[in-house]
């Protein structure tokens, strides 16, 4: 199936199929009881989601939204879990998938523990560039989402992005 930017793959609280992201990027947004949306994760190619349902069915933790056009395979839950029962070796494959996700989350924690907000933003930008070299991070995420993801205020992200833009501008003419 193809999802286009902004389309929803699944919603928080729903249960059902699992999904293999073949290409693209998805964001996972969790809506808190007060209605506040918080971006909690980014799903990259070759991940199978929702992660917490890989071994047993559970309601979706958040809503999956396409950041760019995504190609997704639907993995019907009934077939997935029956296959796990018939093929215990598949549990090792799932463990390896979860291990890779844990490593990614550890890198994200490393980003959050950077002291300087500029370093946090720089690392996030570099990480996104590893997936999309020609797309700026701000074309994929709002300043609020970037702030949530790196643990700073939106105003800080705005200031840092302005600073990056001004440092890339050529110097103006010199007065003699």
At residue 176, the pLDDT reads: 45
In the chain, which residues have pLDDT < 70? 111, 114, 169-176
Q: Cα torsion for 55, 94, 108, 42, to the nearest 10°?
A: -70
50 φψ region: left (φ > 0), alpha (ψ -120 to 50), beta (else): beta
**How is the chain split into domains, by residue range?**
115-166
CB 21 within 8 Å of CB 47:
yes
């Amino acid at each position: 199936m193809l999802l286009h930017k902004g389309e929803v793959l699944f919603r928080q609280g729903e249960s059902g199929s699992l999904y293999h992201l073949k290409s693209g990027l998805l964001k996972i947004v969790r809506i808190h009881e007060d209605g506040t949306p918080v971006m909690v994760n980014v799903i990259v190619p070759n991940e199978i989601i929702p992660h917490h349902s890989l071994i047993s069915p559970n309601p979706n933790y958040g809503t999956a939204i396409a950041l760019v056009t995504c190609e997704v395979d639907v993995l019907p839950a009934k077939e997935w879990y029956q296959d796990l029962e018939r093929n215990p070796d598949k549990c090792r494959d799932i463990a390896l998938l979860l291990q890779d996700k844990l490593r990614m989350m550890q890198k994200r924690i490393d980003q959050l523990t950077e002291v300087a907000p500029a370093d946090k933003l720089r690392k996030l930008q570099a990480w996104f560039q590893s997936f999309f070299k020609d797309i700026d991070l701000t074309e994929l995420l709002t300043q609020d989402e970037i702030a949530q993801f790196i643990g700073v205020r939106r105003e800080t992200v705005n200031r840092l992005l302005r600073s990056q833009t001004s440092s890339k501008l050529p110097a103006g003419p010199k007065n003699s």
